[in-house]
Structure 1
């Protein structure tokens, strides 16, 4: 899973998390971005992604039809919609509330979630790598509120988590980081504090060392 707001790719001298992710044989990419940067990065390494998105119509979320993904033809699924259909994206506060309500209601009633079964299988059956979120982010809060019950059944996942600067108060930031690590550890999620670029720099270093 990844989340970035920028439509334009980063400068050439900046390590791009989309490009780094595209080099791994991952079959399912879930994103709360509206852009197509992940699909473009996959095409750049000769992979043929299928792109699909949830649709928010009249306050209700609908799943798109997808086929079973493979490493050669991975799925890029936009959880909150895609720029290609601007009238159906999750964008405003009311949209996020409607989207979250639909997810939570489905989970509480035992009904199928408004997501393709391939996406639900990826969430519940595989470890997740979540990149580029902060606690203040609506996308982060909705994602966790609607899917935490599913995350309990996954193998250990990793969250690359941004921590907002608290007016330069290092002690408060340390306490916030400690709380966040303890909170997510209860959901079987390990945390990496920092940007996606920093995470992939460290991953490259460790992979090179191994």
Structure 2
């Protein structure tokens, strides 16, 4: 069976194959028997190695136009399917220099169907691997603000609210850290702890709690998994509450990044287990307002401490060994972060600093499609490739859609 009949259904597919087999290379006059080569290849996407699982779709027309302008053979460099297929694509694309109309469109559609099939196979494999990691306790949920969307105001929303209230004069009124820094200086005489107390009163004492018994609620779903460790940069206690609802005995610990930290160290005999998991708050907790990383000065101090700056007077580590070791050995599931957020990038790279690429476990980040001013597909391809280099696979879904699909795959819950 040829690759055409496998990935391209067309009423006159046989005639199309014969016609494509008669395409002539306009530059050399050599005939290319494309169909026979395609049939010989007999490539199955499911046979591709795991390391070749990232296959962004390409628009062959754009590639052909670029190749014409450069006067060189087309090379679909991102297609990791082996040398034989690479050679065949180049040969086929070269033949398309002089081909137009229906035949060119047919081949373009064929490639698109092939890439689409590869994506489906890749996505299915990624889902299976994620489910396996969660079921076997080899995964660490790492939650950001987006995991609480609809329950708590997100950073940009809160920043704009306070920017309007206190007359923030700059254009970046969606930048929470900068807005809070301004408010602290201009309204609270630089007293960040006092500002944080006001923030807690406004946000957390009026918040609506999620339904922790709902199977599609993200905290509830994660609490149902038998995992020993959860990490979050959120200030809320939704994870801890949900774990208790699901008959777990969680321990909370807050990163001691700030001067005068009152966060108690973990008991020496305590080891996180699925029945008694640890919830570690990297950026503080609303019950200890001074621990919250909110303003620009907070983020600067925090990142200096995280990087091991020698100027700090405290000898306590921001990330205890039990958490640090797990983050470096287990797969991480990022939920609620923007992969374009520099704070997230610095945090991720610092926590995994020193790990060789071959030692990095496979990680997942749940993301919404980025907003762009140009080609959305190009933006996604760039972000996928960029994070593939960090061994992070992107799931382009909302938290709600991701939760429903994960519940269906793990427990057969209806979507």
TM-score range (shorter-chain normalised) is 0.7 to 0.9
| Residue 328 of structure 2 corresponds to residue 124 of structure 1 | yes
Partner of 1:65: 265
- Give the secondary-structure state (helix, strand or coil) at the position aligned to 1:105: coil
Change (3 A) 1:182 1:148: farther
After superposition, what is the alpha-carbon deviation per residue over 1:42-72, rounded to whole angstroms, capped at 9, x for unaligned? Answer: 01111010011113324x9898522310110
Partner of 2:226: 25
**Following TM superposition, by how much is the alpha carbon of 1:36 offset from its aligned partner in structure 2, in angstroms?**
0.1
Partner of 2:47: none
Structure 2 Cα separation of the partners of residues 78 and 29 of structure 1 = 9
Which of 134-143 and 194-203 deviates more? 134-143
Structure 2 Cα separation of the partners of residues 150 and 112 of structure 1 = 20
Change (3 A) 1:118 1:63: farther
**TM-score where L is the length of structure 2:** 0.44
> Which runs of 5 or more structure 1 residues have no equivalent in the other structure?
none
> Which runs of 5 or more structure 2 residues have no equivalent in the other structure?
1-141, 153-206, 310-314
Structure 2 Cα separation of the partners of residues 201 and 73 of structure 1 = 26
Structure 1 Cα separation of the partners of residues 291 and 240 of structure 2 = 19
- Give the secondary-structure state (helix, strand or coil) at the position aligned to 1:128: strand
Change (3 A) 1:154 1:61: farther
Higher normalized contact order (CA 8 Å, seq sep 6+, divided by chain length) = 1
Structure 1 Cα separation of the partners of residues 224 and 254 of structure 2 = 22
**Following TM superposition, by how much is the alpha carbon of 1:113 offset from its aligned partner in structure 2, in angstroms?**
4.9
Structure 2 Cα separation of the partners of residues 162 and 113 of structure 1 = 33
- Give the secondary-structure state (helix, strand or coil) at the position aligned to 2:353: helix
- Which of 33, 36, 48 matches 2:249? 48
Structure 2 Cα separation of the partners of residues 14 and 71 of structure 1 = 19
Contact 2:257/2:318 (CA < 8 Å) preserved in 1? no
Structure 2 Cα separation of the partners of residues 196 and 183 of structure 1 = 22
Structure 1 Cα separation of the partners of residues 262 and 298 of structure 2 = 13
- Which of 137, 155, 158 matches 2:364? 158
Contact 1:100/1:145 (CA < 8 Å) preserved in 2? no
After superposition, what is the alpha-carbon deviation per residue over 1:148-200, rounded to whole angstroms, capped at 9, x for unaligned? Answer: 42665332111112344235x5x2x3222111111111111111122222112
Change (3 A) 1:11 1:76: closer
Change (3 A) 1:37 1:86: same
Structure 1 Cα separation of the partners of residues 297 and 368 of structure 2 = 25
Partner of 1:191: 394
1:1-210 → structure 2 map (5 Å cutoff) = 1-4=142-145, 6=152, 8-10=208-210, 15-58=216-259, 64-66=264-266, 67-105=270-308, 113-137=317-341, 139-149=343-353, 152=357, 153-166=359-372, 169=374, 171=375, 173-207=376-410, 208=412
Structure 1 Cα separation of the partners of residues 221 and 396 of structure 2 = 18
Structure 1 Cα separation of the partners of residues 209 and 381 of structure 2 = 32
Contact 1:132/1:162 (CA < 8 Å) preserved in 2? no
Change (3 A) 1:11 1:72: closer
Contact 1:28/1:76 (CA < 8 Å) preserved in 2? yes
**TM-score where L is the length of structure 1:** 0.82
Contact 1:54/1:64 (CA < 8 Å) preserved in 2? no
Alignment size in residue pairs: 201
Partner of 2:157: none
- Give the secondary-structure state (helix, strand or coil) at the position aligned to 2:337: strand
Structure richer in helix, relative to its length:
2
